[in-house]
A and B are shown apart, each in its own frame.
Chain A
Amino acid sequence: MVKGVGFIDLRDAGDPVAQAEIYDRAGADELTLLDITASHENRDTMVEVVARTAAKVFLPFTVGGGIRSVGDMRKLLLAGADKCSINSAAVARPELIGEAAEKFGSQCVVLAVDARRASAGGWEVITHGGRRGTGIDVVAWCREAAKRGAGEILLTSMDRDGTGEGFDLELLRAVTKAVRLPVVASGGVGRLEHFVDGARAGATGLLAASVFHFGTLTICAVKAALAAAGLAVRPVAEAA
């Protein structure tokens, strides 16, 4: 199985379209555009950014942030997104997962899960950009989402996000053991070996944002490290 690398989170990018083109050429396997508009009221801006991105890059990309309904998803998919990630809206109304899967197919529906270690053990689902606890167990929530028709899980460790200490491998193992869906790991990478650890822990994709934004690591170096560890990757030379 080929591990997808460089799922670039474009949350912080100044011009997301220009940034997407740079990562496209640099050999990213997928793009993830999250919260590309500061205000959730400005849906039209988001659709427009998606359309401009889809005209420039020919690799799969996921859009997320503030998606509330099947109608929101339809606009983004028609604009050229391949997958929509839903988070708080799915927690508020889990039926949304099934409705979206029925309408567009499971492959379009990414469940984004923000996880925080719970004092009693395990992990708790956090919503609203990490601000609100829900009391829901992450592993149970992932199992339910899989049953309801989610096609992929984007799993972010809120404990590790921004620390550079590496993915929460225990969390990753717990989720990949519980569901058969592809799981993209996010939150915490700071060094090359962290990508290798994440891939070995069962992630199908490895998302990183700041290490690429700030030039700490290159996609090329990450893929070389994975290949050197005996993991299958798509060579950067096959990109645009």
Chain B
Amino acid sequence: MKVAVVDYGSGNLASAARALERAAAESGVRASVVVTGEPRAVAAAERIVLPGQGAFADCAAGLAAVPGLWDVIERATAGGAPFLGICVGMQLMAERGLEHRITPGFGWIRGEIAAMRAPGLPLPQMGWNVLQFRRDCCHPLLAGVAAGQHVYFVHGYALSGAEREEIVATTDYGGEVVAMVARGNRAGTQFHVEKSQRVGLCILANFLAWAPARAPERSQA
């Protein structure tokens, strides 16, 4: 199975690729993980991982700067390829980001990426925090993960205005913060799965085994 970790000049791609390799090896999946910014290589992959670090606007610009890359991710995932966005990669799934300036995202998930308030707490949120699952939801990517387990967050902006059924998990940081979203074959984690030790590797192994139904197109609001 080919897994593409999309390289558009942002973030710690080596860690994401190594964590996917480890998760594959531990769960007995034969996966070839490639870090690539080549639209053709991304199109040829069966699964797509989009990491991201830094500001939403910079990441969106970086992705758009590689000719064809944005479209190929859009098309491949519309065709059903399982997608996992990590940190700003997850944020890019939303309709728009407000960091620095208003920048459009993919718009797969309702809502926008706004500055966190977290009264009385340090910002950015940089550290481990507990996952809370949406009450009526047990997403396949969270199989084997228990509510209350810890994952590693680094962010000062977060998803707001999301639709309830697109939120899979939250955390508490001076109020409810969206930790994980999913719609059809597209999922994203605000936290760093590749830096969340056992819990993160478990989610990545689940992603490699995930056989989701294709997401129905969103009705335009």
Residues of A within 8 A of B (CB): 1-4, 24, 29, 51, 54-55, 58-60, 77-82, 104-108, 151-152, 176, 180-183, 204-205, 232, 234-235, 238-240
Chain B 109-147, CB within 8 Å of chain A: the 1/0 string? Answer: 000000000000111101111100000000000000000
Assess the A238–B197 pair: CB atoms within 8 A.
yes
Kindly state the interface size class of chain B when it binds its partner. 35 or more
Residues in B whose Cβ lies below 8 Å from that of A60 = 152, 154, 192, 195
Q: Is B106 an interface residue (CB 8 A)?
A: no
* Residues in chain A near residue B55, CB distance under 8 A: 105
Q: What residues make up the interface of B, taking CB atoms closer than 8 Å to A?
A: 12, 14-15, 18-19, 22, 53-55, 58, 121-124, 126-130, 149-150, 152, 154-156, 173, 192, 194-201
The docked-state distance in angstroms from the alpha carbon of A194 to that of B86 is: 36
- Given A2-B127, A59-B152, A105-B55, 20 more pairs with CB closer than 8 A: A1-B129, A2-B128, A24-B197, A51-B14, A58-B22, A58-B194, A60-B195, A80-B15, A80-B18, A82-B12, A82-B195, A106-B156, A107-B54, A108-B53, A181-B122, A182-B126, A204-B122, A232-B130, A238-B150, A238-B199
Chain B residues lying within 8 Å of A82, measured Cβ to Cβ, are 12, 15, 154, 195
B154 contacts A107, C-beta separation under 8 Å:
yes
Asked whether, in the complex, the Cβ of B195 is within 8 Å of the Cβ of A79, the reply is: no
A25 — nearest CB in chain B belongs to which residue?
A: B197
A182, B152: Cα distance in complex, Å: 14
